[in-house]
Chains A and B, each alone.
Chain A
Amino acid sequence: MSSTSNQPKKNNFLAGTANYVDERLGVAGVLKEFGRKIFPDHWSFMLGEVALYSFLVLLLSGTFLTFFFDPSMTEVVYDGVYAPLKGAHMSIAYASSLDITFEVRGGLLMRQVHHWSALLFVAAAGLHMLRVFFTGAFRKPREMNWVVGFVLFVLGMGAGFTGYSLPDDLLSGNGLRIIDGMIKGIPFIGTWISSFLFGGEFPGTSIVPRLYSLHIMLIPALILVFLAIHLVMLVVHKHTHYSGAGKKDTNIVGYPLMPVYVAKAGGFFFIVFGVIMLISSFFTINPIWNYGGYDPSPVSAGTQPDWYIGWLDGALRLAPTGMEFMIGDFTVSMNILLPLAVSLIFLALVAVYPFIENWITGDKREHHVLDRPRNAPVRTAIGAAGVMFYAILWAGASTDLIATQFKMSLNQVLTAMQISLIVLPIVSFMVTKRICLSLQRKDREVAIHGRETGRIVRLPHGEYIEVHEPLNEYELYKLVDYKDYQPTLARPNAAGKITVRARIRASLSKFYFKDRVSPATQSEIEEARHHAEEIEQEVQKAIESAK
């Protein structure tokens, strides 16, 4: 070692490395900026993390699979180790999927890891979306990030569907057949799109290689880009936190990134990965060897798509009979276009919801404290209605299984679903809104009068009362800290005219905020405390006089 360096000579590898990196990249500043950044703690914040980590697992397991999978649709005669299919004609894609399963050590495990983490990815992303919706985390300044997250969810479904179709087995081929049928139903250009997608007639020999390009290149690249935007916005906005003592729109309360969050989030990645691995070691998913290669003629009863496509399939099933009609010589397949339109409108409403709510409340402030769902009754009720709508469509994809499992008539199950699709969202809207308002009233009562103690006292004049114990200030604050809005009237604009826009906004604000429970105020609470003290004195007096 030369002694020319003026650096204090330390036999410390870590310090040396840090010095080396910083002199070349200047990362010390980055670490100073972000190293102690605060992250709030709540279990529901892990849902997005689960989605993120499942995506990383998807990248890892997917890369492994690409080394063995061959997407060609050229026909071969199977000559692998799986005896029941020996001699069967199939595509190379299907044969190589069988080879991964039966001839590569860990191949079946990785296929199952890939499939399970795909299911988990979409599920976690969906739950994360619901968390963001029900807590109002999409409000200013996070509206754009909601849209980015929405795009990620749709991309996730796209990645799932393209991947599901790759093994070219009987089930996935039938899935593609359905897509083909739907596309052909599109007016004017349907048959052209179908021909372009499949490279000629269905099924052709192009679709699997094309889906493969999308599945391993374009869609993951888009997901990565949107994920990066999603996370950069998260850092820019800083995370939201739940309402509670000390938590404000102007601060962020939680634990520092280093070391607590590095350990927790880093550890959580391994837990998510580990749980996926555990499920994949024990539970078979998509046993393609049982289905056989794609053949347009056979199909088994009770076929089901992967869960996240179920709602679209359900929409197809629930279309009433006889919706197709003719305009002159042209066929309009409303039995396909209607479910398609309903699904797209549903998705569009999800994407634009933050902007609608913001327009109604007109609240242009930044919101960093999350709502408890009960404190935004109409939003929560709309969410519940949306979840119900989705759930019915989803259950609609299993009408046949419901009918056979519960020994019911298929026709009646379907009719019940069709009615439920309209009625149940409305019912769940009303019920949820009432539950929220009741919970708010209960909160208000507890905030003002305190907690019931179960201590019953009989006063000298014979009245029985239950003694209430006031909340401590931290518990109290949790119950009263929320945003309260009131409906507005349609007001004339500068020209003295009441516009249609203003009228719509006024009636929507009435719909949102007509029924409202405002948070308990300091004076209300003090008044109640004062009253409670009087009673307490009376109680004490009674006890003494009894002695």
Chain B
Amino acid sequence: MSEQSKEVERSQNAGLAVIKPDAVRDPGIEPHRVRMTDKSPKHAKSAARQVALLFTLSMFGSAFALWTYFAFPINEDLNTVRQNTLFLGVGITLGLLGIGIGAIHWAKTLMPDHEVAEDRHLLASPEDKRAAAIEIINLANQESGFTRRKLIRRTLYGALALFPLPGLIIFGDLGPNPGNSLRHTIWKKGTRLARDPYGTPIKASDVTIGSVYHVVPEGLVPGTEHYLEEKAKAAVLLVRVEPDKLIETEERKSWSYQGIVAYSKICTHVGCPVALYEQHTHHLLCPCHQSTFDLVDGCKVVFGPAARPLPQLPIYVDEEGYLRAQSDFNEPVGPSFWDRSVKS
């Protein structure tokens, strides 16, 4: 054991380590294995040629990439995009790999590969340096009176604690008070149900048994103000099932129309659109986290991480046969939030 390692053993606690007095002796670094390029000038020369060839290949690749930039322009034809990407990429690849492989081949075959040992030194500073450092800190403390002058110190702490607060408060306008925005959608009494994304109203007679309609409130079309924000809350899924299959509470009997039911499409888990409908089980499935809702039983959760049924949109049919909303949803749609059940 070298002097230095003994010093380490002494100065630093080995804890639960078992120190064996008759550990196997370290034979030292393994002798160097001679490479072909070390002993044969012919091999060394051919290795040098290979390295040069790789570097040349790199030059060729880069030049090729420059050429392709002009030779493969892109236009309306999407094939040109593919070609531009492919040939430009292959040229640059050659330019890069030629350098990389060449340099490593050079290092491995022609540069010395004798393993060398270098001493490490304990990271902790020697005692005299530590003492000097402590002395400097003490001196600084003495000269400034940091410990002695309590009033200065405490007011400084106070000042340092308060000064970041304005820096935080100026972020207050990042967003408005959420207020009631999460509790309402643009559905209201009489809004016609329309097809997403065309915006054409839907007649009850168009909705055959088993068919699914992706629905938005009439008038909500791309280009209208807050289109995405409103759609993110108001999207609805409309399905018609055999009326006798519906399991409805007394209160909700009037919310459907001859087996046509409308439910919020926004998952009550984290808000993905519940877009998949399985006709023979009447299940709605959210493709994000697989929450599954039973459409005929009030969209109750039958599987997955969601906790609450999808909110139902009460609907009726007007004299012309169009489907209309009786009102807005009677609870907030989408993901749960802390005070969603608090009456406001």
Pair B287/A141 contact, Cβ less than 8 Å: no
Contacts of B76 in A (CB 8 A): 81, 83
Confirm or deny: A431 has a beta carbon within 8 angstroms of a beta carbon on chain B: no
Question: When the two chains form their complex, are residues A250 and B27 in contact, meaning their CB atoms are under 8 A apart?
Answer: no
Please state if A200 and B337 are interface contacts (CB–CB under 8 Å): no
A254 touches B18 (CB 8 A): no
Residues of chain B within 8 A of A350, CB atoms compared: none
CB<8 Å pairs between A and B, sample of 30? A75-B227, A89-B222, A89-B223, A102-B78, A141-B123, A174-B272, A184-B335, A186-B338, A194-B175, A195-B176, A206-B175, A238-B118, A245-B29, A247-B29, A250-B2, A253-B118, A255-B116, A263-B106, A267-B100, A303-B287, A317-B290, A317-B305, A365-B14, A366-B12, A400-B287, A473-B27, A477-B24, A477-B26, A485-B18, A486-B16
Rounded to whole angstroms, the CA-CA distance of A525 and B14 in the bound complex is 25
Contact partner, A203, options B78, B93, B228, B288, Cβ 8 Å? B228
List chain B residues, Cβ under 8 A from A250. Answer: 2, 4-5, 8, 119-120
Task: Given A203-B229, A274-B93, A317-B289, verify A295-B197 contact (CB < 8 Å).
Answer: yes
Check: A268 CB closer than 8 A to any chain B CB: yes
Cα distance, A28 to B115, chains bound together (Å): 25
Stretch at the interface among A7-15, A331-339, A387-395: A331-339
Q: Is the CB of A178 within 8 A of B288?
A: yes
B342 at the A/B interface (Cβ < 8 Å)? yes
Within 8 A of B (CB), among A466-522: 473-474, 476-477, 480-481, 483-488, 509, 513, 518-522
Q: Considering only CB atoms and an 8 Å cut-off, how many residues of chain B contact the other chain?
A: 113
Interface status of B164 (Cβ within 8 A of chain A): no
- Which segment, of B67-75, B134-142, B154-162, faces chain A? B67-75
Within 8 A of B (CB), among A74-106: 75, 81-83, 89, 101-103, 105-106
CB within 8 A of B178: which of A192, A267, A313? A192
Q: Is B205 an interface residue (CB 8 A)?
A: no
Assuming the contacts A178-B288, A181-B269, A251-B118, asked whether A323 and B338 have C-beta atoms less than 8 A apart, the reply is: no
The dominant DSSP class at the B interface is: loop
Give chain A interface residues in 397-411, CB to chain B under 8 Å: 399-400, 410-411
Give the distance in Å from the alpha carbon of A363 to the alpha carbon of B227 in the complex: 63
Residues of B in contact with A (beta carbons under 8 Å apart): 2, 4-5, 8-9, 12-18, 20, 22-30, 69, 72-76, 78, 81, 84-86, 88-90, 92-93, 96-97, 99-104, 106-108, 111-113, 115-120, 122-123, 171, 174-178, 181-182, 196-197, 214, 216, 222-223, 226-229, 231-233, 235, 265-267, 269-273, 275-276, 287-290, 301, 303-308, 334-343
Q: Say whether B104 contacts A271, CB under 8 Å.
A: yes
- In Å, the complex CA distance between A477 and B265 comes to 67
Q: Is A172 an interface residue (CB 8 A)?
A: no
Q: Which of A373-421 contact B (CB under 8 A)?
A: 399-400, 410-411, 414
Could you tell me the distance between the alpha carbons of A85 and B340 in the complex, rounded to whole angstroms? 38
How far is A290 from B273 in the complex, measured between Cα atoms in Å?
A: 18
Contact across chains for A522 and B232 when beta carbons are under 8 A apart: no
How far apart are the CA atoms of A75 and B227 in the complex, in Å? 10
Alpha-carbon gap, A269 to B340, bound state (A): 53
Residues of B within 8 A of A320 (CB): 305
A152-168 vs B, CB cutoff 8 Å, 1 = contact: the mask equals 00000000000000000
Q: Is the CB of B175 within 8 A of A200?
A: yes
Q: Which of A238, A485, A487 contacts B17 (CB 8 A)?
A: A485
From A81, A89, A199, B75 is in contact (CB under 8 Å) with: A81
Q: Is A319 an interface residue (CB 8 A)?
A: yes
Residue contact B111 to A259, C-beta cutoff 8 Å: yes
**Which residues of chain A are within 8 angstroms of B115 by Cβ–Cβ distance?**
246, 253-255
CB distance from B260 to the nearest CB of A (A): 19
Selected interface stretch from A16-24, A213-221, A277-285, A537-545: A277-285
Q: Which chain A positions have C-beta within 8 A of B196?
A: 297
| Closest residue on chain B to residue A203 by CB atoms | B228
Hey, which chain A residues are within 8 Å of B342, CB to CB? 329-330
Residue pair B16, A362 in contact (C-beta under 8 Å): yes
Q: Is the CB of B120 within 8 A of A249?
A: yes
Q: Do B335 and A185 have beta carbons less than 8 Å apart?
A: yes
Identify the A interface with B (CB < 8 A).
Answer: 37-38, 75, 81-83, 89, 101-103, 105-106, 108-109, 112, 141, 174, 177-178, 180-182, 184-188, 190-192, 194-204, 206, 236-238, 244-256, 259-260, 263-264, 266-275, 277-278, 280-282, 294-303, 313, 316-324, 326, 329-333, 335-336, 360-366, 368, 399-400, 410-411, 414, 447, 473-474, 476-477, 480-481, 483-488, 509, 513, 518-523, 525
B140 CB to nearest chain A CB (Å)? 25
The 4 closest A-B pairs by CB, nearest first: A281-B89, A181-B270, A362-B15, A267-B103
- Looking at the assembled complex, report how far the CB atom of A538 sits from the nearest CB atom of chain B, in whole angstroms: 27
* Cα of A513 to Cα of B17 in the assembled complex, Å: 10
Chain B residue contacts of A236, Cβ below 8 A: 123
Contacting residue for A331 out of B26, B336, B343, CB 8 A = B336
Which residues from A are CB-within-8-Å of B16? 360-363, 485-488, 509, 513
* Interchain nearest-CB distance for A241 vs B (Å): 10
Q: CA of A511 to CA of B233 in the docked complex: distance in angstroms?
A: 53
- On whether the beta carbons of B288 and A267 are closer than 8 Å, the reply is no
- A321 and B24 in contact (CB under 8 A), knowing A202-B229, A250-B5, A329-B339? no
One of B101, B102, B175, B214 near A297 (C-beta < 8 A): B214
When the two chains form their complex, are residues A181 and B334 in contact, meaning their CB atoms are under 8 A apart? yes
CB distance from A274 to the nearest CB of B (A): 3
A333/B307 in contact, CB under 8 A = yes
Contacts of B30 in A (CB 8 A): 244-246, 474
Contact check, A177 vs B270: say whether CB atoms are below 8 A apart: yes
Q: Which residues of B contact A295 (CB under 8 A)?
A: 197, 228, 231
Shortest distance in angstroms between A458's beta carbon and chain B's nearest beta carbon? 33
Q: In the bound complex, do residue A519 and residue B20 qualify as a contact, i.e. CB atoms below 8 Å apart?
A: yes
Q: Is the CB of B288 within 8 A of A330?
A: no
Nearest opposing residue in chain A for B337, CB measure: A184
Residue from the set B8, B16, B17 with the largest chain A CB neighbour count within 10 Å:
B16
- Of A206, A281, A329, the contact of B88 (CB 8 Å cutoff): A281
Cβ of B223 to closest chain A Cβ, rounded Å: 6
